Structure 1
Amino acid sequence: MGLKKLALIAASATALLASPAAAQSNIDGVYKDSDGYTEITVAPCGNARCGEITRILKRKPGEPTNDVHNDNPALRKRPILGITILKNLRWDDDVWRGEVYNPEDGNTYRTEVRPAANGALEVKGCVTLFCRSRIWPAAR
């Protein structure tokens, strides 16, 4: 076997055995929540990914603009705009795992986040064994 062939085989084997980090799905971008009330920007934050409410598209009828449902009374006066709702997302077993904060009920849930069709994002929030998925379309 020639040296060139051996080098080609070695390069191919290295590509096949590339680290899982190289296969991470990119979720960075700007999305609308499933009801179209806010835009969420997903971007790096330290060694993880986070999603922050970066724009209010329309007000939810009857809802104030502050985080009134938060379990922590000290946080109830903070504005919804700027809240980090996706926290500590880390690539694990072909999905981004972390936490999602829901300002509608003030609770934080385990989450799995992955790209969906047409540039959207699938966000699944879980409590114990019960999960609920939402599709956040890409903001255009």
Structure 2
Amino acid sequence: MGLNRTAIIAAAAPLALLAPPAAAQRSIDGTYIDSGGYVEITVGPCGTSRCGTITRIIRHKSGESDRDVHNDDPALRDRPILGLRLLTGLTWDDGAWRGRVYNPEDGNTYRTEVRPAANGALEVKGCVAIICRTRLWPAAT
């Protein structure tokens, strides 16, 4: 003796109410200060995704130039840090903004997950394979 379709749907409906809701997309647009307090990064729309660009140099790191001197590509080592795009291709996926993050301190680009954090900050996680490092970028004031 089998259950009819209506009975199956009626029995499953209460279970659907217990399922956790999908994480709502949260905006990350805004202006932040990198975790070292050296640059200001503005995050906003870039076509169909989000990106983050250095929009102000707050202070220079001792011994560092205002150029992208650590870039793996020698042709890019003379480009200015100001205007450099650090976050690229960020799209909402499974509870986080996912894309790429460029680190001018080592010239490498990493897989990233970005999320809003407490007090208007931005949590930026960069990963190589299974090794990840998370930084907190406070909101610019």
TM over 0.5: yes
Distance 2:54 2:95 in 1: 25
Paired residue type of 2:104: P
Output the aligned Cα RMSD.
Answer: 1.7
Q: TM-score, normalised by structure 2?
A: 0.84
For residue 21 of structure 1, report the CA deviation from its aligned partner.
10
For residue 22 of structure 1, report the CA deviation from its aligned partner.
9.6
Identity %: 72
Distance 1:126 1:136 in 2: 17
For residue 24 of structure 1, report the CA deviation from its aligned partner.
1.0
Where structure 1 has 5 or more consecutive residues not aligned to the other structure, the ranges are 1-15
Distance 2:78 2:46 in 1: 24
Distance 1:44 1:28 in 2: 8
1:59 aligned residue = 60
2:3 aligned residue = none
Q: Map of 1:9-48 to 2, 5 A cutoff?
A: 23-48=24-49
Q: TM-score, normalised by structure 1?
A: 0.84
Contact 2:23 2:95 in 1 (8 A): no
2:84 aligned residue = 83
Distance 1:108 1:66 in 2: 17
Distance 2:23 2:86 in 1: 26
Where do 4+ consecutive residues of structure 1 move more than 3 Å? Answer: none
Q: Which moved more, 1:37-46 or 1:22-31?
A: 22-31
